[in-house]
Amino acid sequence: MQIAEWLENEILCGNIKENEKMYSQYQLSEMFNINPATAAKGINILADQGILYKKRGLGMFLSASAREKIQYKRKNRTLKKLVEEAAAEAGRLGVGEDELIAMLREAKKGLDEREK
């Protein structure tokens, strides 16, 4: 899962482009000092989700819709879960909706400024 998530982050950051060749399991195993079979599992997770596709004899490549698939998955699973957890914690702490939204805006603003 960690290899798949790292590859997803590389895709979202634009470090791997559509139809570009993906790292091989052997490249990943050297990069992270892991077993090639473990690296292959990370690659296969993304292939099973349609994020990568195989060209026989050439390796795995990034699908044209990969970025959108990853964004959709993370928005509707990961981000939604984080927001639900934040809302629950805000409720336990007595933080109102307006204050919680202000906190989110401030956090986003800080991130945007760091990216500049």
pLDDT of residue 67: 95
Alpha-carbon distance 50 to 44, whole Å? 10
Apex CA 47: angle with CA 42 and CA 49, to 5°?
100
Give the tens place of pLDDT for each residue, 74-109: 999 889 999 999 999 999 999 999 999 999 999 989
pTM of the model: 0.73
The amino acid sitting at 23 is Y
Do 39 and 73 fall within a single domain?
no
Report the CATH number that the domain containing residue 58 is assigned in CATH: 1.10.10.10
The amino acid sitting at 17 is K
Do 85 and 50 fall within a single domain?
no
Give the tens place of pLDDT for each residue, 22-55: 999 999 999 999 999 999 999 999 999 999 999 9
Better-scored residue on pLDDT, 116 or 113: 113
Do 76 and 40 fall within a single domain?
no
User: What number of residues does the chain have?
Assistant: 116
Close Cβ partners of 96 (under 8 Å, ≥ 6 residues apart): 90
φ and ψ of 22, to 5 deg: -85, 155
User: Do residues 57 and 17 touch, judged by C-beta distance below 8 A?
Assistant: no
Give the pair of three-digit tokens for residue 25.
């399991």
Do 8 and 54 fall within a single domain?
yes
Domain assignment of residue 34, given as a range: 2-64
Do 44 and 76 fall within a single domain?
no
Could you tell me the pLDDT band of residue 111, with boundaries at 50, 70 and 90? confident
For the chain, the domain total comes to 2
φ and ψ of 23, to 5 deg: -55, 145
Do 79 and 108 fall within a single domain?
yes
φ and ψ of 53, to 5 deg: -135, 155
